[in-house]
Amino acid sequence: MTISRANGLDIYYETAGEGRPLLLIHPLPYDHNAWLYQVARYAAGFRTIAMDLRGMGRSAKPHEPFSLRDMGDDILGILREEGMLDKNGAGDAVVLGCSVGSKIALMLACDHPEVFKATILVGGNSGPQNQFDHRIKAYRAAAADGTLYDYHLGHLRYGVTPGWADSPIGRHLLAGFAERGRDAFDAESIAQIFGALTVSDLTPKLPAYKTPTLIINGEHDSALAAGRLTASRITQAEPRVLPGTGHCCFLEDPAGFDALVLDFLARHGMWPG
């Protein structure tokens, strides 16, 4: 178990493999285990770092408001503590994120091009997102009336297609996230994450953004329209759609997802083959 305290909070993360750093930033309401397939595949060519965002998993659960920039600083702290930045604060990392993780990934790449050399966004959205008030209210209500486990499981299902959620592997994986959340899930802290996501707007940064970027959406992803809009705002973006999958397409079709990612990385000289 590895904990970073570089930004003043306990941030849990796991590493595997050797080579160029590959940061994996999970979606809500999942945890670092969302990337189990990608860690198994990409650790052959990267030093993978799968972390729990503040407010999630084994990381600290602050109740006071915080920003996506604070969450990004947690990630930069991990890179510093792992010795993955040079004395000038530069590096050669790749960052991959889904949902809130994709927005944090894009923010980091916009603000720190000296650190992040490629960005992979899953369900990307660069603009403000004011549709989460119902989630904040529902999580707080579920915590108050003792139904947080059931609400969490329902929210997990929202991130994938119904057919996959009801498949043997889908039921197994989603139940694992929900079971880990029995002791680790904190409704007030996740409300603060949604609050930070709501007000974040990266659109003004995109005209100057030059980092190679792959944007992947599942065919049935509720964020598909937002992903396409984000891709249209980034000159060098490569949008892709993974058939038959939902928001967390990397869980539903890891082989199809990895094929898109590894092709992108190979073309940019970042996958050793």
18-36 residue pLDDT tens: 999 999 999 999 999 999 9
Chain-wide mean pLDDT for the chain? Answer: 94
**What is the mean pLDDT of the segment spanning 27-48?**
96
According to the model, what pLDDT value does residue 3 have? 95
Q: How confident is the model at residue 130 (pLDDT cuts 50, 70, 90)?
A: confident
Q: How confident is the model at residue 102 (pLDDT cuts 50, 70, 90)?
A: very high
According to the model, what pLDDT value does residue 165 have? 98
CATH 3.40.50.1820 is the classification of domain 2-129+201-267:
yes
**What is the mean pLDDT of the segment spanning 262-273?**
91
Three-state SS for 6?
Answer: coil
Residues in the chain: 273
| Inter-CA distances, 197 with 60, 187, 208, Å | 18, 15, 22
According to the model, what pLDDT value does residue 1 have? 67
Burial 156-195 (b: 16+ CB within 10 A, else e): bbebbbeebbeeeebeebbeebbebbeeebbbebbbbbbb
According to the model, what pLDDT value does residue 264 have? 97
According to the model, what pLDDT value does residue 66 have? 95
Dihedral pair phi/psi, residue 24, rounded to 5°: -120, 115
**What is the mean pLDDT of the segment spanning 121-131?**
82
Dihedral pair phi/psi, residue 223, rounded to 5°: -100, 15
Q: What's the DSSP call for residue 53?
A: P
**What is the mean pLDDT of the segment spanning 236-252?**
97
CB 238 within 8 A of CB 213: yes
Q: How far apart are CA 192 and CA 2, in angstroms?
A: 24
Q: Residue 273 pLDDT > 80, yes or no?
A: no
142-181 residue pLDDT tens: 999 999 999 999 999 999 999 999 999 999 999 999 999 9
